[in-house]
């Protein structure tokens, strides 16, 4: 398939890459691989880099953004896409109550906002979000490390998400 000046090739057994990859690189082609079986040899895609920041006209001119407001619609589109494409056909909500799905969306939204707000661009990725999820297990006092992080954030910037 040809898209612009990019050629997309389906190679489920990696035979074309193995047999022709070196020759194509020698001729100046850039090769990117999406390998779902062995992700360590796959090129990576990070959808968080596409979440835009909202800036005022003056901030754009001065190349500053002290408020660090993000496009909330971008976050929600990403979360909705993630949830729609990871929904299990075997697990069905028998109550018809959307509470748990909405709770999951709000939880993910808070994690995305935290990562975008507190991590540099290089660390704004799903790996960091997974690390935060692992911090959500409560200790003996019933408070998790994630609770502590969010409580600290709320004290530092009480209007961070609403602003």
Looking at per-residue pLDDT, the higher value among 2 and 74 belongs to 74
Ranges assigned E (strand) in the chain? 2-3, 6-7, 53-54, 69-70
| Per-residue pLDDT, 141 | 94
Structural domain boundaries, residue 6: 2-41
- C-beta of residue 16 within 8 angstroms of C-beta of residue 9: yes
pTM: 0.66
Confirm whether 8 is domain-assigned: yes
- C-beta of residue 104 within 8 angstroms of C-beta of residue 83: yes
- C-beta of residue 46 within 8 angstroms of C-beta of residue 124: yes
Instruction: Tell me the per-residue pLDDT of 46-72, one tens digit each, with 9 for 90 and over.
Output: 888 888 776 666 655 666 555 556 677
Confirm whether 54 is domain-assigned: yes
- C-beta of residue 105 within 8 angstroms of C-beta of residue 83: yes
Mean pLDDT, range 78-106, rounded to an integer? 79
Q: Is the dihedral of CA 52, 56, 59, 64 positive or negative?
A: negative
Looking at per-residue pLDDT, the higher value among 159 and 77 belongs to 77
Q: Taking 80 as the threshold, does the pLDDT of residue 32 lie above it?
A: yes
Q: Are residues 36 and 107 in the same domain?
A: no
CA distance 20 to 22: 6
Q: Are residues 101 and 28 in the same domain?
A: no
Q: Are residues 124 and 146 in the same domain?
A: yes
Q: Are residues 37 and 104 in the same domain?
A: no
Instruction: Tell me the per-residue pLDDT of 99-145, one tens digit each, with 9 for 90 and over.
Output: 888 899 999 999 999 998 899 988 999 999 999 999 999 999 999 99
Q: Are residues 130 and 146 in the same domain?
A: yes
Q: Are residues 26 and 68 in the same domain?
A: no
| Per-residue pLDDT, 74 | 85
């Amino acid at each position: 398939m040809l898209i612009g000046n990019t050629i997309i090739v389906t190679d489920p057994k990696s035979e074309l890459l193995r047999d022709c990859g070196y020759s194509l690189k020698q001729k100046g082609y850039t090769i990117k691989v999406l390998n779902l079986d062995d992700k360590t040899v796959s090129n990576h895609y990070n959808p968080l880099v596409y979440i835009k920041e909202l800036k005022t006209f003056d901030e754009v001119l001065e190349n500053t953004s002290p408020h660090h407001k993000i496009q909330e619609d971008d976050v929600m589109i990403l979360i909705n896409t993630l949830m729609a494409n990871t929904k299990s056909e075997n697990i069905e909500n028998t109550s018809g109550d959307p509470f748990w799905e909405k709770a999951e969306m709000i939880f993910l939204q808070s994690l995305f906002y935290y990562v975008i707000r507190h991590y540099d661009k290089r660390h704004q990725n799903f790996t960091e979000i997974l690390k935060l999820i692992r911090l959500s297990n409560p200790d003996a006092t019933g408070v998790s490390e994630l609770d502590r992080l969010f409580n600290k954030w709320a004290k530092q910037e009480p209007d961070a998400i609403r602003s």
